[in-house]
Structure 1
Amino acid sequence: MTAGTTSTAHGLAAAPGAVVPGLPAGRRRAPLGRLLRAEVRWIFRRPRTLVVLALLAALPVITGIAVDLTLDGGGAPVDAGPVGAGPGASDGGPPIFVTMATSAFVLPLGSLMTLLMLMLPLTVAMASGDALAGEQSNGTLRGWLLAPVSRGRLLLVKAVGVLVVALVASAVVVASGLVTGLVLAGTDGLVSMSGTELSIADVLWRLGVAVAWATLYLMAIGAVALAISASTEHPMVVVVGVLGGLIVSVVLLQISALDWLHPYLLPSSLASLVDLIRDPVSFDGLAEGAFRAGCYLVIGISLAYARLTTRDG
């Protein structure tokens, strides 16, 4: 490293020279595009990120094969008992798994709903924990501010990184589930839960909506995780805090005496994804879930920004 040049953990350097209003002489503002590219590149160079994405791609395949093996000789699904109300229902499972064995369209959405309960939030929580708490524990977060990067821009870059992880993870699950469903059931298996046949174009736009909705849901979780990450130096605290909050929320959703609280709990939106498999599609539940996730997103990002701008170092 030459004198007068500051290097960061992401390969960003602040070369002295131009004077920019509002910044000390000899420093210039790091380009936002460069920061975003460096952050995304850094995220997907982490071995654990690649391992988690590979696991997410494998789970729909395993689910599809397991469900396919439950078919009897005549091609009808083995009786799974009474139909439940949502993912993980204790009375036999959700209606989505009843048709998963014979519909290539149901498998990607069923896998997405199941993984949104734990595995996908875990992925986003890990990315959020590494974004701020992880870098601070390694002593590399200070390098961002020497780039120079304002704390608001720092939070923006980290939030975009978490958003990319949420989008890629959701897309990987849906793509893996769709390919597996087509292999197991063929194009004749593109049937909605209402029994109507769907075209490839109809399936793709529904899956696109599912990925977008899941990304917003995960980004809401990521925003809360970023708020926790901005308040600690230990990434595991972020992961445990997020997963603990989700588990508590799911438990509270099972208590009928707390019906007044259910609309404020983020996991209460998951069941609305089933509407994308029905014909015609109802967007009421999806819109309500998107609004709820948006509220969590605004609150989480606001808390993270407040913490970053008021803390020392």
Structure 2
Amino acid sequence: MRTVVCAEPGYMVLEERDPPRCGKGEALLRIRRIGVCGTDIHAYGGNQPYFSYPRVLGHELAGEIIEVGSEGDPKLIGQRAYVIPYLHCGQCRACRTGHSNCCKRIQVIGVHRDGGMCDTLAVPLDHLVVSETLELDQLALVECMAIGAHAVRRSGLGQGELAVVTGAGPIGMGVAQFARERGARVVVVDTNPERLAFCREKLDIELTLNPNEDDIDAALKAMSDDELADVVFDATGSPAAMQAGFDLVGQAGRYVLVSIVKADISFHDPDLHRKEMTLLASRNATRADFDQVTRLMESGRLRVDAMITHRAELADVPERMPTWCAPATGVVKAMIEINDTSQQSISGALS
């Protein structure tokens, strides 16, 4: 089968590998869609923690089940499904207390182990979710949206509170939509005018602010009787922006770091104590978050299709990846497609 390997930072190559076998408790997924996210871009750029090379990227995955192992239901064959890529041990304290998203021995598909930039992938059956309603593009975006769902749930955001989302990438767009689902007032902050326009026009975010043009502090104080934000979510992937976000949090407010960077983030301790600020990290997502995203997506309450701005076939990824990483390209979400023609040779090999 075809496999795209990130051999080292800045270098991808298309290889031929043997297709995987379907083990006990597993299913073979014919990959049809692969969303490219910030984790992939950071890994390609050499800036992703928890990472080693060479690695097959890809964890936003959707496809068709083509085989099930000895414990699987044959009725699953032929159904569309998405992948929950966080493989947890089930035994550590985090897992035992319902925090499988930060399992001590977590193995994330496409990060700690080879991922889905390939034609076929073996996946544990309990990490596949079938939907008869969602299309392949939508299925591939569930994981991305689950990150935002988890961050908002973790924040305890309430109706009427002022939520500020810094970073208008796909994760930030997901956070903004789930914050709105909670009944919060939502402000999106970014330095990219095109991203801000996208949030207003495609996602109906009423207020967006650009720190290069707007007085963020004054705008937030005007919305909050001089109290600033109840909750700030950082989805920038920028250490400087993450550090600046502390100043946007009001008294007794919460600051949720959704981004992860290979850097130290510091804060002024007296300010943290003066506000009695709560600082939270948000990592991955749980099954409850995936279930919420699936329900809302199936009901049409989440706007995800417009986020896909660029597409490529699997074989073209090594050539396209450098351009997708360039801000000037204007990528919101790139989607890798594996079409029926490219799958014909695989079907013959498996039969």
Normalised by the size of structure 2, how large is the TM-score? 0.22
Quick check: which has more Rg, 1 or 2?
A: 1
- Structure with more of its chain in helix, by fraction: 1
- Structure with more of its chain in strand, by fraction: 2
Structure showing greater relative contact order (alpha-carbon pairs closer than 8 Å, 6 or more residues apart): 1
Normalised by the size of structure 1, how large is the TM-score? 0.24
